[in-house]
């Protein structure tokens, strides 16, 4: 229960810290991205407005006299109508004013009409005009006509219905505005298709099967034309027509233009925040970027071009923000999870080390307590001259226990040195067979005394620290001698990048196989029944880990095998 609570608290703290960091970074990034997006939108508007302004100037120059007066305003307006697709952009409106702020032309949602204005021999000249369907047809009729105009039936082969042609039969032109007599709808059928199945050309027959009448009479004597075609352009299509109408009213407002010119004289874009991330831009520009100063009348330009645009910074930034927020969140979650798991492992490892240190301290105290007690008892006898005939016996036992304590302390110091970062390991080529022979020869008297049979098979040369790896083999061999009966057998085998030290005798309890590598941990139930210090295998473990050699112990059929793998 305590471990679960500790783990939960640790995970909660790390995830809370990561979440707070994530939110701070993401909010900062979002503010930065939106501010940059705002600059980008202003630059795009600037580019768009300059492009429109150049087009407007080119049209005006063609119809201006030496006094900068328009010679044929009707043709100018029709030229603007011809270029309407260039001016039309969703969320954008433009208007052209005269020098005295009279509206000359503005973008709208009218239908654009093409027709033959006149011909010169075999050459036909196309004219353009605008038709406001609301002036002549009901809402139901307009909806039907738009259904035909923007129909996109599926075409699979030549002869299939590909769309409709919405035509005007008989109309009058009032400046740029078209006054229709009747509108007809004619079916078009695919003639040729490309490899991808797209329609290349279509044809149809003009009929009066579908007709819409305006019932207009021409008392003013306006020019009349016989035939025109509605161009299928969804001018200023907008999901928010009310916002588009507000924008249109702004760019066509004379007072707004005069107020803006008093503020900036067209030198910069004006912006207004509609709500949190919606901006409305307004930019009036003088004709040919030239402003004249007039006595007592302020500044003046021959014409003014105004561009207005609504920008939703959230819509523009959302794809990038969504990607960054989600990808960063996943990254932070993975990082937090990895860090939490690693921290918890470190915590458990530290807890385990503390437990091991506590056990080592207790075991060390236990192992030193016995010889100290013996030394104290013998010293007390010597001090009080008790059993003086055993003086040499007492001294010999005192020296023996002092040697044992010295051995324990030296091995503890050696283990601490191995586990520190200061030990320098010197790698060299080492013959394992040669080292094993040295160990067997070193302990031959002990083996002969206990009638222990030894054998050695195989050989290998490894890159290792000679003295350290020799100590591992020595510890394995001593451990085998200490834990086997008289008349047993010890065999060292070297093969398949593995060195094994086998000794006959009793097995190590399975639950203790991992513990024997810890200081003062032994496979025996009673510590007092063993002769070793309990540090040999711990020292061997540290040496093997320094060499990055895997190691272990396992029970065989009639004994125990200690092993390590080398590269």
Residue-level pLDDT at 526: 39
> For residue 268, what are its two tokens?
């910069």
Decide: helix, strand or coil at residue 246. helix
- Cα–Cα distance for residue pair 396/385, rounded to 1 Å: 16
Residue-level pLDDT at 483: 85
> For residue 324, what are its two tokens?
């960054």
> For residue 222, what are its two tokens?
């306006």
> For residue 78, what are its two tokens?
């029709």
End-to-end CA distance of the chain: 43
Residue-level pLDDT at 374: 67
pTM over 0.85: no
How does pLDDT run along the chain (567 residues), one tens digit per residue? 666 788 888 889 999 999 999 999 999 999 999 999 999 999 999 999 999 999 999 999 989 888 888 888 999 999 999 998 888 887 899 999 998 899 999 998 899 999 998 888 888 889 999 999 999 999 999 999 999 999 889 998 999 999 999 999 999 999 899 999 999 999 999 999 888 888 889 998 888 888 999 888 876 788 899 999 999 875 444 556 788 889 999 999 999 998 888 887 767 888 888 888 899 999 999 998 888 876 655 678 889 999 999 999 998 899 999 999 999 999 999 999 999 999 888 888 887 767 666 655 655 565 566 567 767 776 777 777 766 666 777 677 677 777 766 666 665 666 566 665 556 778 899 999 999 999 999 889 889 888 999 999 999 999 998 888 888 898 899 889 988 888 899 999 999 899 999 999 888 888 888 888 877 665 544 333 445 556 778 888 888 888 889 999 999 988 999 999 997
- Cα–Cα distance for residue pair 350/95, rounded to 1 Å: 75
Residue-level pLDDT at 364: 55
Residues 399-405: contacts with CB under 8 Å, at least 24 apart: 401/371, 401/372, 401/374, 401/375, 402/371, 402/375, 404/371, 404/533, 405/368, 405/371, 405/372
């Amino acid at each position: 229960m305590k471990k679960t609570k500790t783990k939960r608290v640790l995970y909660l703290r790390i995830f809370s810290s990561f979440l707070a960091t994530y939110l701070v970074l993401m909010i900062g990034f979002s503010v930065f991205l939106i501010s940059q997006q705002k600059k980008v939108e202003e630059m795009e508007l600037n580019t768009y407005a300059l492009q429109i302004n150049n087009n407007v100037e080119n049209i005006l120059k063609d119809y201006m006299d030496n006094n900068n007066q328009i010679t044929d305003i009707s043709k100018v307006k029709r030229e603007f109508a011809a270029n309407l697709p260039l001016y039309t952009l969703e969320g954008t409106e433009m208007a052209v004013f005269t020098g005295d702020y009279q509206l000359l032309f503005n973008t709208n949602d009218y239908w654009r009409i093409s027709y033959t204005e006149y011909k010169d021999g075999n050459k036909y000249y196309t004219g353009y005009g605008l038709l406001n369907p609301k002036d002549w047809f009901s809402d139901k009729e307009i909806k039907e006509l738009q259904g035909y105009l923007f129909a996109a039936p599926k075409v699979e082969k030549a002869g299939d219905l590909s769309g409709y042609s919405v035509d005007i039969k008989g109309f009058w032109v009032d400046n740029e505005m078209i006054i229709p007599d009747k509108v007809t709808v004619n079916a078009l059928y695919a003639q040729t298709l490309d490899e991808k199945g797209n329609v290349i050309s279509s044809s149809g027959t003009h009929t009066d099967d579908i007709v819409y009448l305006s019932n207009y009479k021409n008392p003013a004597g306006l020019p009349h034309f016989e035939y025109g075609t509605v161009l299928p352009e969804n001018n200023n299509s907008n999901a928010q027509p009310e916002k588009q109408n507000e924008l249109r009213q702004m760019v066509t407002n004379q007072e707004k233009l005069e107020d803006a010119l008093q503020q900036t004289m067209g030198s910069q874009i004006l912006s207004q925040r509609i709500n949190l991330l919606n901006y409305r831009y307004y930019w009036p520009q003088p004709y040919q970027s030239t402003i004249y100063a007039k006595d007592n009348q302020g500044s003046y330009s021959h014409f003014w071009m105004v561009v207005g645009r609504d920008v939703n910074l959230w819509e523009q930034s959302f794809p990038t923000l969504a990607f960054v927020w989600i990808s960063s969140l996943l990254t932070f979650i993975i990082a937090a999870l990895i860090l939490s798991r690693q921290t918890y492992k470190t915590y458990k490892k530290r807890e385990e080390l503390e437990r091991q240190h506590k056990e080592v301290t207790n075991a060390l105290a236990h192992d030193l307590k016995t010889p100290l007690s013996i030394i104290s008892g013998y010293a007390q006898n010597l001090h009080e001259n008790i059993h003086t005939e055993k003086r040499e016996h007492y001294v010999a036992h005192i020296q023996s226990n002092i040697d044992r304590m010295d051995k324990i302390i030296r091995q503890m110091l050696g283990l601490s040195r191995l586990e520190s970062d200061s030990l320098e390991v010197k790698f060299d080529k080492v013959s394992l067979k040669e080292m094993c022979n040295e160990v067997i020869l070193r302990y031959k008297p002990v083996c002969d005394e206990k009638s222990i049979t030894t054998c050695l098979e195989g050989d290998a040369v490894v890159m290792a620290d000679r003295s350290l790896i020799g100590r591992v083999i020595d510890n394995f061999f001593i451990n085998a001698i200490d834990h086997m009966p008289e008349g047993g057998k010890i065999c060292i085998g070297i093969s398949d990048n593995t060195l094994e030290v086998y000794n006959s005798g009793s097995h190590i309890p399975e639950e203790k196989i991992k513990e024997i590598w810890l200081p003062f941990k032994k496979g025996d139930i009673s510590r007092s029944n063993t002769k070793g210090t309990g540090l040999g295998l711990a020292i061997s473990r540290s040496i093997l880990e320094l060499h990055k050699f895997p190691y272990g112990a396992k029970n065989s059929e009639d004994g125990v095998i200690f092993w390590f793998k080398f590269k």
